[in-house]
């Protein structure tokens, strides 16, 4: 074991306002997330959130956190700040962790993790792994993952069309409540759990069956990461988000002992910037984690000095990378990494800039 390490303070950046973060989410820092203040929501952000909210259906059970006004406002403010501060000039992806101000349950607090600037499946893998590590650190030892994908624009259009055609033939079998909601968005019928609708929706088309080749490959890669991480999971065909601002993968982490208890929910929001009037597309994915509020919770503003920079080469090494980082985390060994990159040269150049004493290289390269 290494000797007691020197501490380094998280430095202020012109791009991200680093701030101390609750010790309960310390694991996120080991996975490469930087603690930051939540982006300030302005009037324009609220107006844009309202414009997206116009057709939301609030009566179906649905996804409670995603359907809250402040939840989408957080993402809009974050993407605006990313564009305004030219955060695309930073090493990508940009990964941040911050305490959320969105609607909270009594006695609980919420934290968001965001991976912005990459469309790759490693983003979802990092979010899921960091979230499960945080939950385990907070006493949740038996968790499960429910996951689904609505794919890209091409996939979504096909799914919406197939779903609409299916429910049109079965409208009389739906509750009056769902018949009204169907007119606004057929997705919300899938979230209804009334006895009248459950049987009808069982035969509905699935979003996975409508995925384009690119979206199918992306979802396959996410599932490969989950399997390698050893996280119990199931594909939930009825887990669908609001298509106005979500895309590709959506997932919930639940307490396996009480599946009604949702501990975290995450999704991709590629394409949202186009609806916000931001010219450059900014891919992103995020997760919200709900934890029991602790009195006198300690804050983290320092981490062990990085002892090494971790470099991975090849798909197999990348898939195993999260296992390696977890082993090092449990030993309180902090390493830099850039799993969002594949090329050795770009990873090594970052290692040189960080001036760490050691480089860990995993994988193989054909010369």
Give me the DSSP letters along 123-151: HHHHHHHHHHHHHHHTT--SEEEEEEE--
Q: Which domain holds residue 175?
A: 156-201
Q: Is the same domain home to 236 and 107?
A: yes
Q: Is the same domain home to 222 and 75?
A: yes
Average confidence (pLDDT) over 43-55: 70
CATH number at residue 358: 3.40.50.800
Confidence check: pLDDT of 251 > 60: yes
Least confident stretch, 47-56, 97-106, 137-146, 320-329 = 47-56
Report the alpha-carbon distance of residue 64 to residue 229 in Å, rounded. Answer: 27
Q: Is the same domain home to 36 and 128?
A: yes
Cβ atoms of 70 and 102 within 8 Å: the answer is: yes
Q: Is the same domain home to 33 and 73?
A: yes
pTM, 2 dp? 0.85
Is 330 inside a domain boundary?
A: yes
Q: Is the same domain home to 142 and 243?
A: yes
pLDDT of 270 reads: 87
Q: Is the same domain home to 65 and 102?
A: yes
Q: Is the same domain home to 89 and 171?
A: no
Report the alpha-carbon distance of residue 76 to residue 284 in Å, rounded. Answer: 11
- Is residue 121 helix, strand or coil? coil
Contacts of 201 (CB under 8 A, 6+ apart): 189, 190, 192, 238
Question: DSSP of 51-106, one letter per residue?
Answer: HHHTT---SS---TTTTSHHHHHHHHHHHHHHHHTTGGGSSSSEEEEEE--S---T
Contacts of 284 (CB under 8 A, 6+ apart): 75, 78, 79, 114, 115, 116, 117, 123, 268, 269, 270, 272
CATH number at residue 61: 3.30.930.10
pLDDT digits (tens, 9 = 90+) for 175-189: 777 777 777 777 777
DSSP summary character for residue 174: S
Is 9 inside a domain boundary?
A: no
pLDDT digits (tens, 9 = 90+) for 210-226: 999 999 999 999 999 99
pLDDT digits (tens, 9 = 90+) for 73-107: 888 888 888 888 888 888 788 998 888 876 556 77
Is 299 inside a domain boundary?
A: no
The kind and range of the H/E element at 263 are strand 258-268
38 vs 310, more confident: 310
Tell me how many domains the chain contains. Answer: 3
């Amino acid at each position: 074991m290494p000797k007691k390490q020197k501490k380094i303070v998280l430095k202020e950046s012109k791009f991200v306002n680093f701030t101390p973060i609750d010790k309960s989410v310390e694991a996120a820092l080991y996975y490469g997330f930087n603690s930051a203040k939540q982006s300030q929501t302005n009037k324009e952000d609220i107006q844009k959130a309202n414009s997206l909210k116009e057709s939301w259906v609030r009566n179906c059970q649905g996804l409670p956190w995603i359907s809250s006004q402040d939840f989408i406002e957080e993402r809009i403010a974050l993407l605006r700040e990313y564009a305004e501060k030219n955060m695309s000039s930073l090493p990508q992806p940009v990964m941040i962790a911050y305490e959320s101000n969105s609607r909270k349950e009594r006695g609980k607090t919420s934290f968001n993790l965001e991976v912005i600037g990459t469309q790759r499946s490693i983003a979802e893998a990092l979010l899921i792994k960091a979230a499960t590590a945080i939950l385990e650190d907070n006493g949740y030892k038996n968790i499960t993952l429910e996951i689904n994908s609505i794919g890209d624009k091409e996939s979504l259009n096909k799914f919406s069309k197939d779903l609409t055609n299916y429910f049109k033939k079965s409208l009389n079998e739906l509750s009056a409540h769902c018949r009204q909601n169907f007119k606004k968005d057929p997705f919300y019928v899938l979230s209804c759990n009334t006895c009248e609708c459950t049987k009808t929706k069982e035969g509905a088309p699935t979003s996975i069956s409508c995925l384009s080749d690119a979206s199918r490959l992306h979802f396959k890669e996410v599932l490969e990461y989950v399997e390698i991480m050893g996280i119990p999971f199931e594909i939930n065909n009825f887990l669908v988000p609001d298509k106005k601002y979500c895309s590709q993968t959506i997932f919930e982490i639940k307490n396996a002992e009480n599946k009604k208890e949702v501990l975290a929910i995450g999704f991709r929001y590629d394409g949202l910037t186009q609806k916000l009037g931001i010219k450059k597309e900014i891919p992103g994915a995020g997760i919200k984690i709900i934890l029991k509020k602790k009195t006198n919770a300690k804050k983290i503003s320092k981490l062990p000095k990085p002892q090494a920079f971790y470099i991975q080469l090849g798909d197999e090494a990348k898939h195993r990378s999260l296992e390696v980082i977890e082993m090092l985390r449990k030993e309180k060994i902090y390493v830099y990494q850039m799993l969002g990159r594949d090329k050795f040269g770009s990873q090594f150049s970052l290692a040189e800039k960080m001036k760490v004493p050691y480089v860990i290289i995993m994988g193989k390269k054909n010369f």
